[in-house]
Copies of this chain bind each other. A is one copy, B any other.
């Protein structure tokens, strides 16, 4: 069995803590370690280190090497971000090249799991099922009518035990629809966690992304050779960015299963979402979470992050987010923190690249 940790994403949803050069998975925003390292440690007990493959962006290869210098993990660097489908195809091809034929567990590097033991149990069960040739996903049991995630609808009857055939993948719903999903009990959050053998995955790419699949075949002959970087660059240049969900999961005719999991998952997709995760263990008596050299007076439900060396005093705040770094400071309505991309857009327009 292999585990692939997809750490190639970029993103500025945690600006100003995250930057284009320092995306979320390389930040220590939940605990005191970068998320990619926490993701690794969460599943480290399942396989030997050399069966763990990290796929990262080229610009983070060196940093990843430093982070994992005491672990014999494998690292592949993508020349550019092309979303999850090419990443998973590349990983499957590489693991096939290594001789793997058992299921691969594919995980995003930047999610939070409150109950890792339940998470691992689900993954092992998924691997067991996936060895039969299907594609298995973990379905996160929803706890609220969330409109920010895709959903997985299961069939009424389980295949066996708590393994259900998947009826369909659905995109982000309206609030009303999300409420219906929550009530029905047949819908799960799609956490982007997939388990399948490399052969099953490569067959899917051959069916649904034939040009990319041919490119992968040619690339396969160059692994461990000097021409590999150029071949990979060519393949990525010729491939459009597309998600695995959209390219494969919504189209496959292969058996697809979902295993419900109550592992306390969060995609930690915004400051607000991070605040909710942090609340569970770090909130004070008034619902505040504060990091760094901070002093709070009469504040409630606020999230104060001092990552620089500055002293941060907060007075009378309600639902306010403050993120202070060495060169940039964000103060926002915490409930609007996902709109930080508006700031990024304005900064891009004004060519303020130095703080992006």
Q: Which residues of A contact B (CB under 8 A)?
A: 16, 295, 297-298, 304, 306, 309-318, 320, 322, 324, 326-333, 335-337, 339-340, 342-343, 346-347, 352, 355
B339 touches A315 (CB 8 A): yes
**Which of A314, A315, A332 counts the most chain B CB atoms within 10 A?**
A315
Considering the chains assembled together, what is the distance between the CA atoms of A346 and B320 in angstroms?
21
Considering the chains assembled together, what is the distance between the CA atoms of A320 and B333 in angstroms?
10
With A297-B339, A311-B329 known, 5 other A-B pairs at CB within 8 A are: A295-B346, A298-B336, A310-B328, A310-B329, A315-B340
If A297-B342, A342-B297 touch, whether A317 touches B329 (CB-CB below 8 Å) is no
Contact of A339 among B310, B316, B336 (CB under 8 A): B316
B310 touches A320 (CB 8 A): no
A347 touches B315 (CB 8 A): no
List of B residues within 8 angstroms of A306 by Cβ: 329
List of B residues within 8 angstroms of A317 by Cβ: 320, 331-333
A343 touches B315 (CB 8 A): yes
Closest to A332 in B: B315
Contact of A297 among B304, B309, B343 (CB under 8 A): B343
The 8 closest A-B pairs by CB, nearest first: A316-B333, A315-B332, A316-B336, A311-B328, A313-B343, A312-B329, A297-B342, A313-B330
List of B residues within 8 angstroms of A343 by Cβ: 295, 297, 313, 315
Considering the chains assembled together, what is the distance between the CA atoms of A317 and B318 in angstroms?
11
Nearest-neighbour CB distance to chain B for A255, whole angstroms, equals: 45
Question: Please, could you name 11 A-B residue pairs with CB atoms under 8 Å apart, sorted by A?
Answer: A295-B346, A298-B339, A306-B329, A313-B328, A313-B330, A313-B343, A315-B330, A316-B333, A317-B320, A317-B333, A320-B320
B329 touches A329 (CB 8 A): yes
A312 touches B331 (CB 8 A): yes
A310 touches B327 (CB 8 A): yes
Closest to A339 in B: B315
